[in-house]
């Protein structure tokens, strides 16, 4: 039996603006819910008739490809896609953009679908599919609304040419999609052979190679590349790779920018709140003194490596990032399986502070920093740090799972050594003073709201 699902939302932008957003590179990436394991395998032709997209989908132990084509397009008002191969027996999705007068519109997603296996599929899958569609489209509408609001805040400044390192990572990939969907031109610095037509340029910090010509004339460089600090014990060799991946890459990039004839006006270079060391009671802003320990040493050297760019007159921002929350990757994605099975719990004493930020707010903060005149260190964290015990209770409540288990600190140290002690058993209570003073507005300042957004779990 064919089913019809409809979801509509009012957006404070014209139908033409919202339609145009959907036509740009990066828009589809921004529409993929983070809790779903979906990747774009192929995309060609845009949203005009004949355009196509192939998605790779992982659903539990099963994986499949979803092929869709654009059947109809009415500029500024409508486009329609149809599944030609995938999990549904029938799927036609109409995207409608309905003017509301003035600078607002209603977006309406109307899906006609039929489940596979006839009556059996409908009997066992109908409720789950409707629930999934509701979660997905509410997320999509929220993200469209929020992205367009942020784009509009600096729309009068015109498109920027932005170079990004680390664009294959969680933060860099989302930032690139956010910027290109606003009409900015993004060049990705990659360590493999650049692919034709992908706006990519080569660099290799280990060998000192970099395509300076591809950077020449950029407005902004956002430097996010660096080896992960989590996931393995910190042997001497691992520590050296962590340090070198940050210092060597930042030094190469900063020296290259300083030598350009047409330099960027801004370098935003990643750092971390690890620079403050462990401070579970004191509230730390950007004026706080550096702390002790391996992470603090790495951050000091990392930030110092931007000096050639600063001396060349480039505005340098060092982005001290906290725990980035995304269901698509990073620490939260690693935690989720345990919590979903009801075995998540407090780590160590539970009193250690967790200074966190929602991924969408981090992307928004970087966008904000492209256009403001802040210089120096900027804490990229929510204004509401929590203890590990508070984080555990909140995540359990959002997932509606118990959190009665506790992992003793001794077990963490035995399993992960220094890495576990620094990342899991210690923390710092950090505040985003520079962002707040500049007028930046967080979409998800409260932990519960951030987790519900990332997990598609609306408040009961």
- Residue for token digits 């899958």? 125
Whether residue 460 is contained in a domain is answered as no
The average pLDDT across 386-408 equals 95
Per-residue HEC secondary structure of 257-325 comes to: HHHCCCCCCEEEEEEEHHHHCCEEEEEECCCCCCCCCHHHHHHHHHHHCCHHHHHCCCEEEEEEECEEE
**Res. 62 pLDDT band, cuts 50 70 90:** confident
In sequence order, which residues have a C-beta less than 8 Å from that of residue 9 and are 6 or more positions away? 106, 107, 141, 145
Helices 330-340 and 388-399, packing angle to 10 deg: 60
Q: What domain count does the chain have?
A: 2
Are 184 and 95 part of one and the same domain? Answer: no
Q: Residue 47: how many CB atoms within 10 A of its CB?
A: 20
CA 258, distance to chain mean position in Å, is 29
Q: Is 199 in the same domain as 292?
A: yes
**168 and 236 in one domain?**
yes
Return the pLDDT at 460.
61
CA nearest 359: which of 319, 325, 386?
325
Is 365 found in the same domain as 220?
Answer: yes
Residue 123 domain-assigned (yes or no): yes
Q: Are both 135 and 167 inside the same structural domain?
A: no
Same domain, 130 and 118: yes
Higher pLDDT, 18 or 158: 18
Backbone φ, ψ for residue 341 (5° rounding)? -90, 5
Verify that 302 and 165 share a domain, yes or no: yes
Instruction: Say what the pLDDT of residue 141 is.
Output: 97
- Alpha-carbon 398 to chain mean position: 20
Tell me the C-alpha distance between 146 and 165, whole Å. 25
The domain in which residue 199 lies consists of 155-455
CATH number, residue 62: 3.30.530.20
pLDDT band of residue 123 (cuts 50, 70, 90) is low
Report pTM.
0.95
Kindly state the average pLDDT of the residues 382-411.
95
118 and 182 belong to one structural domain? no
Q: How confident is the model at residue 232 (pLDDT cuts 50, 70, 90)?
A: confident
Average pLDDT, the chain: 94
Query: Could you please report the per-residue DSSP string of 162-204?
Result: EEEESTTSHHHHHHHHHHHTTT-EEEEEESSPPPTTS-EEEEE
Per-residue model confidence (pLDDT) at position 120: 63
Query: Token pair 């819910």 is at which residue?
Result: 33
Residue-wise pLDDT for 326-372, tens only, equals 999 999 999 999 999 999 999 999 999 999 999 999 999 999 999 99
Domain final residue pick, 97, 130, 153: 153
* Residue 158 binned pLDDT confidence (cut-offs 50, 70, 90): confident
Give the pLDDT band (50/70/90) at residue 407. very high
Percent of the chain with pLDDT over 70: 98
Q: Are residues 165 and 63 in the same domain?
A: no
């Amino acid at each position: 039996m064919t089913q019809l699902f409809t979801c509509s939302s009012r957006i404070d932008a014209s139908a033409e603006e919202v339609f145009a957003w959907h036509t740009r590179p990066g828009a589809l990436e921004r529409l993929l819910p983070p809790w779903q394991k979906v990747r774009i395998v192929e995309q060609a032709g845009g949203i005009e008739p004949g355009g196509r997209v192939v998605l790779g989908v992982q659903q539990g132990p099963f994986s499949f490809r979803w092929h869709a084509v654009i059947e109809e397009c009415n500029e500024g008002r409508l486009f329609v896609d149809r599944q030609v191969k995938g999990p549904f027996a029938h799927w036609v999705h109409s995207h409608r953009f309905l003017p509301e007068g003035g600078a607002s519109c209603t977006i309406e997603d109307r899906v006609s679908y039929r489940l596979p296996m006839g009556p059996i599929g409908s009997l066992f899958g109908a409720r789950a599919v409707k629930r999934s569609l509701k979660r997905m489209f509410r997320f999509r509408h929220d993200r469209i609304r929020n992205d367009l609001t942020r784009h509009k805040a600096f729309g009068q400044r015109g498109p920027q040419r932005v170079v990004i390192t680390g664009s294959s990572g969680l933060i860099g990939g989302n930032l690139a999609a956010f910027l290109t969907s606003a009409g900015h031109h993004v060049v990705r610095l990659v360590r493999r052979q650049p692919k034709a037509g992908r706006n990519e340029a080569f660099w290799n910090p280990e060998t000192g190679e970099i395509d300076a010509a591809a950077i020449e004339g950029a407005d902004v460089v956002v430097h996010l590349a660096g080896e992960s600090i989590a996931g393995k014990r910190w042997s001497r060799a691992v520590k050296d790779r962590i340090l070198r991946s940050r210092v060597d890459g930042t030094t190469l990039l900063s020296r290259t920018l300083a030598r350009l004839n047409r330099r960027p006006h801004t370098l935003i270079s990643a750092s971390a709140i690890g620079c403050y060391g462990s401070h579970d009671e004191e509230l730390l802003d950007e004026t706080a003194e550096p702390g002790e320990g391996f992470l603090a040493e790495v951050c000091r050297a990392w930030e110092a490596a931007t000096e050639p760019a600063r001396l060349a007159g480039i505005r340098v921002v060092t982005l001290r990032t906290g725990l980035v929350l995304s269901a698509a990757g990073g620490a939260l994605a690693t935690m989720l399986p345990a919590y979903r099975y009801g075995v998540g719990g407090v780590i160590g004493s539970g009193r250690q502070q967790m200074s966190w930020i929602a991924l969408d707010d981090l992307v928004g903060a970087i966008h904000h920093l492209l256009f403001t005149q802040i210089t120096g260190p900027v804490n990229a964290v929510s204004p509401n740090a929590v203890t590990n015990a508070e984080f555990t209770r909140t995540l359990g409540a959002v997932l509606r799972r118990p959190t009665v288990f506790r992992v003793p600190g001794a077990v963490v140290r035995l399993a992960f050594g220094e890495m576990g002690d620094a990342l899991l058993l210690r923390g710092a209570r950090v505040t985003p003073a520079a962002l707040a003073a500049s007028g930046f507005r967080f979409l998800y300042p409260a932990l519960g709201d951030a987790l519900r957004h990332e997990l598609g779990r609306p408040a009961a």
